[in-house]
């Protein structure tokens, strides 16, 4: 229970444009801002951030999820629009589970937007979902990861 919890932060498609893309929906923070906030928050809850990766390539995200088996206890993952159709990413999350726990996070409240954004093909492979709180969604995701990993360690 004492060893720090290792978390991989994963950002999916188009999140590299954060701060420039539809700020009314996604806020004005850049991805660098968010990563910095995550890195600042992590040690306060006993978490080491092993890496923050963004990619617009589904395959790169799958490879990163696979590699987490060796480097991380949990993934805090905002899949972007891949959320709604990438069964391959969902299977990758399943494949590394339960050794690696995945927390799905979204900046916006996807449940209050277009129809297609209300369906997550990835959710059923994750431990839980946090949506609607902007960059704070990630920070809550890191805290949630702590809770889930500690619970499984104490089992």
Enumerate binding residues for a copy of itself (CB under 8 A): 12-14, 16-17, 20-22, 55-60, 62-63, 66, 80-82, 84-88, 90-92, 94-96, 109, 111-112, 116, 118, 120-121, 123-134, 136-137, 140, 143-144, 147-148, 151
Where in the sequence numbering do the catalytic residues fall?
26, 106
Categorise residue 46: left if φ over 0, alpha if ψ from -120 to 50, beta otherwise: left
Least separation in angstroms between residue 50's CB and a copy of itself is 19
The token pair at 89 is 């990413």
How far is CA 133 from its chain centroid? 13
Distance from C-alpha of 52 to C-alpha of 88, rounded to nearest angstrom: 21
Least separation in angstroms between residue 146's CB and a copy of itself is 9
Least separation in angstroms between residue 48's CB and a copy of itself is 20
> Whose Cβ is closer to a copy of itself: residue 6's or residue 41's?
41
Residue bearing tokens 């209300």: 118
The 10 Å Cβ neighbour count of residue 76 is: 30
């Amino acid at each position: 229970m004492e060893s720090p919890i290792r978390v991989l932060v994963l950002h999916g498609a188009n999140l590299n444009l954060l701060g420039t893309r539809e700020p009314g929906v996604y806020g004005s923070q850049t991805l660098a801002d968010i990563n910095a906030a995550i890195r600042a928050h992590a040690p306060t809850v006993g978490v080491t951030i092993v890496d923050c990766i963004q990619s617009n390539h589904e395959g790169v995200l799958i490879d990163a999820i696979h590699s987490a088996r060796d480097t991380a206890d949990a993934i805090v993952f905002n899949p972007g629009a891949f959320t709604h159709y990438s069964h391959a990413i969902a299977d990758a999350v399943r494949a590394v589970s339960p050794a690696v726990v995945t927390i799905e996070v979204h900046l916006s409240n996807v449940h209050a937007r277009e129809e297609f954004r209300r369906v997550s093909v990835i959710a059923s492979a994750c431990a839980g979902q946090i949506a609607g709180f902007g960059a704070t969604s990630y920070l809550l995701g890191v805290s949630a990861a702590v809770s889930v990993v500690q619970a499984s360690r104490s089992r």
